[in-house]
């Protein structure tokens, strides 16, 4: 990291302010080459106090032409975002002018930054661990208030603290076992005693992994597929959930022939709602294609809302739907409960979907909609332990590493219970420790780092 990088840090387009960020050991020298210091007569920018803002003019170092009047923010190492000398040139936010400022900086000796390189340098310089670095991109891409909160918690180090606590527990178990191996003359007998400690760590790993599904739902959202036989009220529900009359609703079965998708936010969680074609045997080619698309979409959904008609009861077409959703995560909605008599009872539904949440609703009377929304979120988030939301895992990479830790600990426990030599137990414990290091970045490979930071935008 001996070179100095630069990039536009603000979004592309017209705005009140545009910022070019410069970071690296030559940041002050490069800034000296492009700033005229018309309003500050100190000999060098290096003399300016850190974390101060200065008015100046930026000039092209080649043709000596003024480009813009800028505010210059200086942040000297190590007290900057990257841990290096950082200078931000804050000019007017026109597309052309901010590009010209960047080009002037590059002509003065900086290199164009790669995607995520500023944050990568912050990680490499110890300003944050890898969990916090990933939280930066999650914060930028947050699609809901809850996703923003989760990213902020991870950026604050809540998950990192939990990971380090687990690291310390593993190190403690390893140290105790190695002490016995290194000092046999002390006569310490611990045969099998490490099993209790390993089992306790396993429980904690399982607790964190259990919350990973909820963490991903907060970060990425939930795909909810609405399914049922024709004319059962799928499109009416879809319209009610999104708050618009987008789907065509008629008394004619088979009106919906293609997938309709829309996103809503419930309890801070983005939910992607999919209205599907009604499931039935049909000779209509277009409708049959729609039904096949429904089957495909079911495999992608995280929650499936199955709708039945209270006025008609559960018939042959309904049972085809029941077969289709077998083994999937389902919520049940009984629509048209305003009709009398009702031909569906709770016992009948419970026999088909034992233990599942059932919402008794009426799209005509707008009943059951809020209850169904809550059930969708609860289905994915489940019940988090008190305080567990502070360290929810939201990254698939992090979850895979945690599962690697868990599997290694189970291996260590099995070896301990079978009274295998301590060396066999330690191999698995060290493997678990390495997986934890992959989460925080202590043991991560360069290829993984490149893949993570390649997802960032240039300038962050």
365 and 431 co-located in one domain: no
The residue out of 351, 381, 411 marking a domain boundary is 381
Structural domain contains residue 427: yes
228 and 170 co-located in one domain: no
Most confident of 52-56, 213-217, 393-397: 52-56
- pLDDT of 367 > 70? The answer is yes
What phi and psi, each to the nearest 5 degrees, are found at residue 357?
A: -70, 130
Residue 85 CB partners (closer than 8 Å, separation 6+): 23, 24, 25, 27, 28, 75, 76, 77
Structural domain contains residue 102: yes
- Segments forming the whole domain that contains residue 427: 141-211+392-453
157 and 299 co-located in one domain: no
Q: For a pLDDT cut of 70, what percent of the chain falls above it? A: 86
207 and 251 co-located in one domain: no
The H-or-E segment that residue 145 falls in is helix 145-155
Structural domains in the chain (count): 3
- pLDDT of 343 > 60? The answer is yes
354 and 225 co-located in one domain: yes
pTM of the complete model: 0.75
231 and 373 co-located in one domain: yes
Structural domain contains residue 118: no
User: What was the pLDDT predicted at 253?
Assistant: 45
Structural domain contains residue 185: yes
Structural domain contains residue 345: yes
Give the CA count within 13 Å in the CB-facing half-sphere of 213.
15
Q: Give the model confidence (pLDDT) of 7-37 as tens digits.
A: 999 988 888 899 999 999 999 999 999 998 7
CATH number at residue 430: 1.20.120.430
164 and 230 co-located in one domain: no
Hey, CA dihedral for 27, 98, 93, 59, is it positive or negative?
positive
The residue out of 381, 411, 429 marking a domain boundary is 381
Q: Give the model confidence (pLDDT) of 53-76 as tens digits.
A: 999 999 988 888 999 999 999 999
62 and 106 co-located in one domain: yes
Please give the Cα distance from 159 to 396 (Å, whole number).
Answer: 14
The residue out of 330, 357, 381 marking a domain boundary is 381
Tokens standing for residue 429: 């414990």
418 and 341 co-located in one domain: no
Structural domain contains residue 130: no
Helix, strand, or coil (residue 5): strand
CATH number at residue 257: 3.40.50.300
């Amino acid at each position: 990291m001996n070179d100095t990088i630069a990039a536009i840090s603000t979004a592309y387009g017209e705005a009140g302010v545009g910022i070019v960020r410069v970071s690296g050991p030559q940041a002050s020298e490069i800034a000296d080459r492009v700033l005229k210091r018309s309003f500050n007569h100190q000999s060098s920018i290096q003399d300016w106090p850190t974390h101060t803002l200065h008015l100046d003019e930026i000039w092209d170092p080649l043709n000596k032409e003024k480009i813009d009047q800028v505010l210059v923010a200086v942040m000297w190492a190590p007290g900057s975002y990257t841990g290096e000398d950082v200078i931000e040139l804050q000019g007017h936010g026109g597309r052309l002018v901010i590009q010209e400022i960047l080009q002037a900086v590059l002509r003065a000796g900086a290199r164009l930054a790669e995607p995520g390189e500023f944050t990568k340098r912050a990680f490499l310089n110890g300003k944050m661990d890898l969990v916090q670095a990933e939280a930066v991109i999650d914060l930028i891409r947050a699609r809901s208030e809850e996703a923003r909160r989760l990213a902020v918690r991870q950026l604050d180090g809540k998950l990192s603290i939990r990971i380090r606590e687990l690291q310390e527990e593993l190190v403690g178990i390893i140290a105790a076992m190695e002490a016995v191996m290194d000092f046999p003359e002390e006569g310490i007998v611990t045969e099998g005693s490490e099993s209790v400690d390993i089992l306790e760590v396993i429980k904690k790993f399982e607790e964190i992994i259990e919350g990973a599904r909820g963490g991903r739902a907060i970060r990425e959202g939930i795909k909810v597929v609405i399914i049922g036989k024709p004319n059962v009220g799928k499109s009416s529900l879809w319209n009610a959930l999104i708050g618009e009359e987008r789907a065509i609703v008629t008394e004619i079965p088979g009106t919906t022939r293609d997938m309709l998708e829309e996103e809503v936010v419930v309890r801070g969680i983005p939910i992607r709602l999919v209205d599907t074609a009604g499931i039935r045997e049909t000779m209509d080619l277009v409708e049959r294609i729609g039904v096949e698309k429904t089957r495909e979409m079911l495999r992608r959904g995280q929650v499936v809302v199955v709708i039945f008609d209270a006025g008609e009861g559960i018939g042959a077409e309904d049972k085809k739907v029941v077969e289709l959703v077998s083994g999937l995560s389902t919520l049940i909605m009984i629509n048209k409960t305003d009709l009398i008599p009702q031909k569906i009872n709770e016992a009948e539904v419970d026999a088909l979907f034992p233990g599942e949440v059932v919402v008794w609703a009426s799209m005509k009377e707008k009943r059951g909609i809020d209850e169904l929304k809550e059930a969708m979120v609860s289905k994915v988030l489940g019940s988090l332990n008190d305080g567990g939301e502070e360290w929810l895992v939201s990254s698939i990479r992090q979850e895979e590493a945690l599962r690697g830790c868990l599997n290694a600990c189970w291996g260590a426990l099995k070896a301990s219970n079978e009274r295998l030599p301590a060396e066999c137990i330690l191999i698995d414990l060290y493997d678990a420790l390495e997986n934890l290091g992959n989460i925080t970045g202590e043991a991560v490979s360069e290829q993984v780092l490149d893949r993570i930071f390649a997802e960032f935008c240039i300038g962050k």
